[in-house]
Structure 1
Amino acid sequence: MKKVTKIAEAANTKVKLKKIRVAAYCRVSTDSDAQLESLEAQKTHYETYITSRDDWEFAGLYYDEGITGTKKDKRPELMRLIGDCKAGRIDFIVTKSISRFSRNTTDCLELVRKLLDLNIPIFFEKENINTGSMESELFLAILSGMAESESVSISENSKWSIQKRFENGTFKCSYPPYGYDWDGEQMVINPEQAAVVKEIFAALLSGKGTHAIADDLNRRGVSSKRGGRWTATTIRGMLSNEKYVGDCLFQKTYSDSQFVRHNNHGEQTQYMVTEHHEPIISREDFEAARIFISQRASEKGVTKGTDKYQNRYAFSGKIICGECGDTFKRRIHSCTDHKYIAWCCNTHIKDKDRCHMLFVKDDALKQAFTTMLNKLIFSHRQILKPYLESLKTSSSDDSLHRIQQIQTLLAQNTEKRETLTMLMTQGIIDPVLYSQETNELLSQADSFRDEIEALKNEVSGDVNKVTETTALIHFAEKSAMLQEFDKDLFDRYVKRIIVHSRNDIRFELKCGLTLRERK
């Protein structure tokens, strides 16, 4: 008799491993066509490199164009990458080399340590270094130091070349001030802008202030150098610019050993070249303007370089009118027996019929801020912690997934254009059809990039809110109640103030909350 034995199926021993979310970072230090082509090649390489591995999940591509590698805080995409790491969206980072990541040893080690604290290693392809498997930072420090030394050497060579051109008067001002154009060899007068420059000097010498001059130019729709609005600061800079009398002062600024740029107040040698180009303003008018500005500053007790000159008031530029949307201006009001500081809507000052917002006393704003912050300190568990949790739960996973989809579509778009180019060069398709199809693909690519940028801003905003809320909670947990207004705390946590009335003041915090104080 046949005997049948049932053999049960073996348990599935395969365990589905969680994919590692891998992001890539790349950078080029100039925005030249050749460097940007290099950046495109890096982007294509990393998209293919990451998506080709089954155990890796593409977590995004971060790239900085035309930005120095010597200072980490000058690279927005690198900072966004770090922010996304803190938000828990990335597990592993791939980059081309240490020099692409950072040419500053201190910054490089600081970033590596910060990411390792988050359990996120970095793989440097060129050096074949994986920071997650390193027993010591010594090798990384040596290679990073070499990258920094190379950057310093290049910088010093460039400085030496510029210095020699300063000394022999051959340095070219390829970006001239308002009133001049660059013809490829020298500065030449722009007649239309030169007329505005002469008008500015004439207005000042007739007794008009720099704010009034700027307001008049804006009212008439006169375009500034970069097409923006005129400000009193811009006007003051023009009135002290020696280029308008035909001279050039070289080395007005300099970079220190940490690659930080400073105004040159005698720390470095300067070079004055007289009669460098055709003047717009006579030397007599230029000197008269300098004396006039100096006298006005003396009357107000303001000396350039002092704390009073350099420090802005706490609320400057941060108070918004709830009625018309304009900013508030600081003014001194007088009563019968005393004076006090008040903040007034700029529109109301110019035309009371256009905005009816009344002024708010400086002391009232300071008291309102102090009260608001004390309430947060007292009840941060009931306000800030639930808000932080809601920010974390409303994650940006959908946005990140959409960004990845669009980046894939963008890569496919590039492949299609390359295919069209190949077909056209081989004579397979007509040049007219090639031009029509390529233009459509380029337009589609631009739309993809615009959508990616919008999604990146949305994701970045959520990360910033989480970071700012966490910082505010840490402060509230440790701080005692405030007894008086603290300017540093205001600058740290407040984005702006919206005044709806003297009795309704709202503080828009950097963490995204808007809190109302009523009197």
Structure 2
Amino acid sequence: MVFEKENINTATMNSEMILTVLSAFAQAESESISQNVARGKRMGYKHGKFAFPYGRIIGYRKGADGKPEIIPEQAEIIRLIFNSYLQGDSLQSIKAKLETAGALTARGNTAWSAQSIQRILQNEKYCGDVLLQKTFTEDVLTGVHKKNTGQLPQYYIENYHEGIVSKQMFREVQAEIARRNSKSAANQRKRRRGRYNSKYALSERLFCGDCGSPYKRMTWNIHGRKQIVWRCVNRIEYGTKFCGSSPSIPEEELHRAILKAVQGLAANFTDEVAAQINGILHNIQTGESTKPNLQEQLEQTQQEFDRLLEMSLDFDEDTPFLDDRLKKLNNKIKSLKKAIEDSAARQEKANQPEMLLSAKDLQIQEYDDALTARIIEKITVRSRNEIEIRFIGGYKKTMQLT
């Protein structure tokens, strides 16, 4: 092959060598340009400069001031997704809701995916914050993006724009995602039931006191009469091999026991119980006194991080020591921000009692699946006649089945 412009003939050894050298120079130049661009972006991230991804996110458009502006009709879609998830809906049921309503995705499609809904639920932009450098390009030649799990520093900008959902709701959704992901299978060796089942509030909340496995909702047909019962998954799949004495519990009895427990809780809603149910496990005064100290630590750590980052940009080669130190400082910054945020959240709850659960919320006359999903953490079947209910915050109550 002959390249006339470069006067290179690949049939000769000398030309092959020249071609190899030129290719190496071209590759080196490409890598250098890519590194400079990446370095420029990181410097921009450091100072809060970035391009908001309007084309890949619903709910926002560019406002007159250059900042993200909420699109009201699209914001309702986001609120529907967050509220439905907290009420116990699975990703698939939320997907069905959106498609039935004719809601459009960021690309203008009517077909949604569970993955896109999950990304929305985990996107901090919907509570008004921005996390920069979530991904990075490891190899400029392949151009493949990888998730940044600590390889490079990340930058978190709080209150960058108006949030569609509150920070409290966003935190609750992240906790619910973690709770669902943490569910293990009934048989630990095969791990066949790791998926979250959200159709009923008792799914993933009702557990066997004998083997610890979840209970499953079933319909029995006895002489033409249907009865809904809950049974231990281990007992269903393996008989008495792994679970020897778990009882089957009629759903009506479970509902009656839970209703009585909630009503009893409303009648005895003391300050201590209220604090447990609402998850206020730390003294607010302690949170207030530690916040200034945490803020001071954050500022000092951020200054050290900025100083090392600028120092690292002066080196043309990799600096493992600085990179390692930057990672540790970045993790410390995130930890301090989380501690400050938790302290502020506790104070916010204390200043806004209407956000807390009250005795009035518990004064129900019939079983409420949504309330069960909201306030009950776990129910353990102790015997055919007894269950133990653990509410959020750790408050427990033993109930008889009738």
Report the TM-score when normalising by structure 1: 0.37
Structure ID, larger Rg:
1
Which one has more relative contact order, counting CA pairs under 8 Å at least 6 apart? 2
Q: What is the TM-score with the length of structure 2 in the denominator?
A: 0.46
